[in-house]
Amino acid sequence: MIKEFMAFLSQYNIFGIAIWLLIATKVWTLIKWLIEDLITPLILQPILTKLRVKHIEDLSYKWILYGKVISTLIDFLITAFLVFLIVKYAGVTLQTK
């Protein structure tokens, strides 16, 4: 049973996938930190101070939390741009039709 399990792990390269997953998780944590704690506050701090709001997620109008939507949109755009830069400078070619 152990030999079969080890053969399964080596055949499907489970160790490589596990290492990739660990690295991807840590890179995601780094990107999330950059966005939430560094880039977004630097860009939006003057606006938030004028609105007397501590976090962008607190922005709302009549119980509609549009601040969360704005925060998620900013998060997506910055993440997509960082992924674009990584792919571009890693030498991976993007094929378009």
- Are 60 and 66 contacting, i.e. CB atoms less than 8 angstroms apart? yes
Encode pLDDT of 33-45 as tens digits: 877 788 777 877 7
For 39, the token pair is 């880039």
Residue type, 39: I
Domain ranges in the chain are 2-89
* Dmax (CA) of the chain: 66
Tell me if residue 26 falls in helix, strand or coil.
Answer: helix
- Are 94 and 87 contacting, i.e. CB atoms less than 8 angstroms apart? yes
pTM for the predicted model, two decimal places: 0.51
Reported as half-sphere exposure (CB side, CA atoms, 13 A), residue 2 has a value of: 0
Query: 40: Cβ–Cβ under 8 A, 6 or more apart, which residues?
Result: 56, 71, 74, 75, 78
Encode pLDDT of 47-59 as tens digits: 778 878 777 777 7
Computed over every residue of the chain, the mean pLDDT equals 77
Residue type, 2: I
